[in-house]
Chains A and B, each alone.
Chain A
Amino acid sequence: MPRPEGAVALVTGASKGIGAAIAQALAADGWHVAVNYRSDEAGANAIVSAIEDAGGRAVALHGDIANGAVDGLFTQAEEALGGPVLALVNNAGVRADNLAIQIDDADWDNVLNTNLSAAFRLTKRSLKPMLRARYGRIVNVASVVGPRANAGQANYAAAKAGLIGLTKTVSHEVARRGITVNAVAPGFIETDMTKDMLDDVVKAIPARRAGQPEEVAAAVRFLASDDAAYVTGTTLFVDGGMSA
């Protein structure tokens, strides 16, 4: 079944970095895009303008997904763009790195809540319009960290590994309704979030370079497309060979 006309894609944490690139890639593929942001309003507005300048439709939506902004995001996205949310990209994520012995409860809870629990709540809410439409695309932005170890990121790794487990199980539950649930697992991508880490790790990447946000966005664009209708429950690594 082809994507219904006027379908909306909601991308969390889309004011910059990987999320911004995903929002633009989905808009270029014909999705009407809700660009969610927590604090960077100017960044989100710039992405919306870029999408509109390229002939697409988008709206910037403020909402802290770690603190209850779930229902409102869907309602606002559907009202502003005039169609049901049939693609959800759980991209928003935070880091609070430390050795496990030094991670305090607040840093554990915050990372798990934003990176995993919020993704679950958004996924659950998104299934409502998707089940009704018999069509849906959920893409979770996981990480090579989780499937692989990375000292100093026990909280982040646990959340991202959890996201992959969530992806697989939900994919089984809803596959017969035309809804696919997949993950992408970026390696080291050049963004604000990783700029303090890149020099140390490039040597360990077979491709000998960091990835670009657009390279992750291209994978998400594929998984959200009609071409990927038979791809579900999988994790697509975009990591220059790190996990091979």
Chain B
Amino acid sequence: MTLRTRRAVFVVAAAVFAGLLLWGFGGLPRFGTFQGAYGLVLNHTAVPERHITDVVTAVNFDYRGFDTLGEEFIFFAAVVGVTVILRAQSDEAPGHIADYAFGRAVPPTSDAVRVLGLGLTPPTILFGLYVIAHGHLTPGGGFQGGVVLATGVLLIYLAGELDDLHGLYTVPALERAEAIGAGAYIAIGLVGLATGSAFLQNVWPLGRVGHLFSAGTVAPIDLAVGLEIGAGLVLLLVTFLHQTIVLRRTP
């Protein structure tokens, strides 16, 4: 089937399904008048029941914590997949580590980029840790904070060379950190089983609303997820960079 035929078939089918979709959307409630009972109940009971002020994090890690465990393992599997797919092939070997550009000389990193990178890295890492730790109080949590942490580590590469990152980590250490983060989530859930209630039940002391040590198991799960996402994303980016900058095809 040529491209033109495929395009024609797509346009016809898309028009039919778009009509059906828009007709179905007409049956949705008007924008702004959704009266889902689950959300209304959660907004009123999450704060007194679990002593947590960020209801979205409560839904993610407490009320629907099992679904988030599944999502976390999708992330884990995707990172494993990337490291397996981008491993060194039989005709590739580590070469000279240097940024190169196709067809032109690479200018050295400008001073402005170096200063900005150096200046922004500590606040970014601190901000990532803050977002992870305060996930149950203000908007944030393990997922967002983990990505911010990975960004902070990446700023070091952007300001310098890939070699500058090598003093920070070894790939086995990153893999262990990610695995520890994923395993800690399950271990915290098993604590619920050990004390006689359900898996991932919130059985830790709840503390006072609005304080850092509150909301039971949500805060430790936040830390575990932040560790896993941060280490996993750094591993992902380092695998891509290793593939591009380090590995060379041996003739």
Do A and B pair up? The answer is no
Q: Which residues of B are at the interface with A, using a C-beta cutoff of 8 A? A: none
Chain A residues in contact with chain B, CB under 8 A? none
